[in-house]
């Protein structure tokens, strides 16, 4: 019996309802279905009295989700998609992402197109697009305190009411550099259209094997976004006495103390997206961000009254 999974956002009634309907439909067609909410991929935030919130990457895989699954269907918005990949990327399970939210930048299609999407899925009429992910780890001395899979970006920034921070950043074997800013972002090509874009970083197409470093509100005209090979590792040392906060993909984070080290490298796991049509990144930029849309032509002449 073929086996598939469903990950859904149980805080959205439409996602919960559609997940149940989809489960029954696939079971009637001879599929074994396992279900889980996206909550398991939300790592949460540490608190002042609990500075470390540590769950090993492989421990986020839900029960009964394994390499035997042919695919999994995700019902939710971008946050649910990010959580689902943290849960399932270690198993290599490809995901069909269905938008029941708002922006849906990471989703393949909308919930009203789900019947057609499922038919293409069952007929194996799709492609798989693999996108790089990052492994983000926090060390104190040589002890691993916290880690997470990252599809979009890692952000380390100052807490409210603290002054500008300094960061010593070393990329690969290159000499460390000092950046004075409110924070820094290290992103994948997928994350180049997220927080990094808002911080002035360039858009990078998903097939380019790079990482991107972007300062947040830097205190220097020379501090600009940097794009470099994803074969390099990144180590960030807080060069400030203030406690900072690290956030991964917008929904998981921990405190960073002055003696800590953040280590970032390309993950051995990839995010495997099911594409029902050949991926066309510029089309997504046009539809979601309005990039490259034709301007309204000005009149060639104006008649005065």
Query: What CATH number is given to the structural domain containing 232?
Result: 2.60.200.30
60 known ligand binder: no
d(CA 55, CA 258): 22
Confidence of residue 220 (pLDDT cuts 50, 70, 90): confident
Which residue range forms the structural domain that includes residue 281? 3-131+270-289
Which pLDDT score, from 0 to 100, does residue 158 have?
A: 86
Number of domains forming the structure of the chain: 2
- Residue 46 belongs to a domain: yes
Residues 154 and 223 in one domain: yes
pLDDT of residue 94: 97
245 occurs within a structural domain: yes
Q: Is the pLDDT of residue 16 over 80?
A: yes
The backbone region for 29, taken as left when phi is positive above 0, alpha when psi lies in -120 to 50, beta otherwise, is alpha
Does 160 map to a domain? yes
Whether 178 is catalytic: no
CATH of the domain at 104: 3.40.50.10330
Q: Kindly state whether residues 125 and 190 are assigned to the same domain.
A: no
> Quick one: which H or E segment has residue 243?
none
Q: What mean pLDDT is predicted for residues 276-292? A: 84
182 marked ligand binding residue? yes
CA 214 – CA 188 distance, rounded (Å): 11
* pTM for the structure as a whole: 0.90
Residues 62 and 100 in one domain: yes
Looking at the fold, whether 66 and 213 belong to one and the same domain comes out as no
**194 annotated as a binding-site residue:** yes
- Residues 259 and 276 reside in one and the same domain: no
- 113 and 7 housed in the same domain: yes
Q: Is 197 annotated as a binding residue?
A: yes
Is 200 found in the same domain as 102? Answer: no
| 117-142: pLDDT as tens digits | 999 999 999 999 999 999 999 998 88
- Mean pLDDT of the chain, nearest integer: 90
Which listed residue (24, 78, 178, 207) is catalytic? Answer: 78
**pLDDT digit string (tens) for 36-91?**
999 888 776 666 556 565 678 998 999 999 999 999 999 999 999 999 999 999 99
Backbone angles phi, psi at 148, to 5 degrees: -160, 150
Q: What is the mean pLDDT of residues 27-43?
A: 91
């Amino acid at each position: 019996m073929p086996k598939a999974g469903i990950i859904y956002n149980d805080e959205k009634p439409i996602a919960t309802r559609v997940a149940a309907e989809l489960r029954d439909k696939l079971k009637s067609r001879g599929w074994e279905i396992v279900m889980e909410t996206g909550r398991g991929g939300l790592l949460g935030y540490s608190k002042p009295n609990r500075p470390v919130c540590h769950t090993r990457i492989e421990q986020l895989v839900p029960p009964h989700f394994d390499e035997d699954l042919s695919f999994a269907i995700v019902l939710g918005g971008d946050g649910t998609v990010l959580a689902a990949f943290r849960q399932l990327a270690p198993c290599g399970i490809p995901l069909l992402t269905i938008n029941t939210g708002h922006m849906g930048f990471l989703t393949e299609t909308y919930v009203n197109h789900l019947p057609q999407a499922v038919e293409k899925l069952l007929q194996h009429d799709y492609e798989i697009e693999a996108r790089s992910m990052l492994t983000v780890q926090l060390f104190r001395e040589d002890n691993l305190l916290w880690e997470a899979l990252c599809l979009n970006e890692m952000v380390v920034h100052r807490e409210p009411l603290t002054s500008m921070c300094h960061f010593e950043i070393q990329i690969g074997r290159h000499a460390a550099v000092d950046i004075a800013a409110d924070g820094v972002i290290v992103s994948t090509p997928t994350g180049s259209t997220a927080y990094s874009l808002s911080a002035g970083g360039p858009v990078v197409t998903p097939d380019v094997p790079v990482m991107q470093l972007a300062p947040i509100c830097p205190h220097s005209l020379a501090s600009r976004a940097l794009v470099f090979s994803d074969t390099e590792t990144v180590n960030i040392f807080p060069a400030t006495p203030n406690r900072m906060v690290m956030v991964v993909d917008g929904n998981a984070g921990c405190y960073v103390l002055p003696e800590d080290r953040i280590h970032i490298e390309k993950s051995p796991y990839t995010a495997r997206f099911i594409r029902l049509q050949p991926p066309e990144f510029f089309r997504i930029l046009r539809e979601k961000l309005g990039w490259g849309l034709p301007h309204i032509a000005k009149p060639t002449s104006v008649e005065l009254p």
